[in-house]
Amino acid sequence: MKQFGRKEKDKQYNFRPGVYGLLINEENSLAVIETENGKFFLPGGGIEAGETHQECLKREAIEEMGMEIAVGSFIGCAQQYFYSTNQCKYMLSEGHFYSCYQTGLLGEPSEPGHYLRWFSLVEAMEYLFHEHQVWAVGEVKNRLTNVGDSYGKDD
């Protein structure tokens, strides 16, 4: 599995598995979430007890983007070591990445402080906060560039 960040010696890391969606619209722009502190992330988040990857991603899409989605193909999994300044903890995020596409619009996101932005793949790779999310966008970019792959729905 790909790993990013640097593991600090003698630090306890809190393991946080999560699921993240790569949603590309008709203009070939990628959905990115901007938080109140000006950081950018892929839509998604931590898996709650008893949730499948698909259930988690669908819930997070409603909370962060105010939209219903369908989950497509699995892109990959990668880990990120980092220190969370919000939680004041060392974290090991394990991201499971999926293509997805919009099936409905519900309105405003239900989670405050999350703003939907649309970036080109290259722009997203420049702005995303976590390296493992940048890696996932790069995987999609390579698939689209190298094989002219269709994107979104199950292969």
Per-residue pLDDT tens over the stretch 33-59: 999 999 999 999 999 999 999 999 999
CA–CA distance, 22 with 140 (Å, rounded to integer): 8
pLDDT at 86: 86
Helices then strands (H, E): number in the chain? 3, 8
For 81, residues 6+ apart whose C-beta sits below 8 A from its C-beta are 3, 4, 5, 6, 7, 8, 13, 90, 91, 92
| Residues composing the chain | 155
The upper half-sphere exposure of residue 139, i.e. CA atoms within 13 Å in the direction of its Cβ, equals 19
> Of 78, 91, 82, which is closest to residue 138 (Cα–Cα)?
78
Average pLDDT, stretch 70-95? 96
Q: What is the pTM of this model?
A: 0.92
pLDDT at 152: 52
Q: Which helix (H) or strand (E) holds 121?
A: helix 121-127
| pLDDT confidence tier of residue 155, bands split at 50, 70 and 90 | very low
Any idea which fold 2-147 has? Answer: Nucleoside Triphosphate Pyrophosphohydrolase (3.90.79)
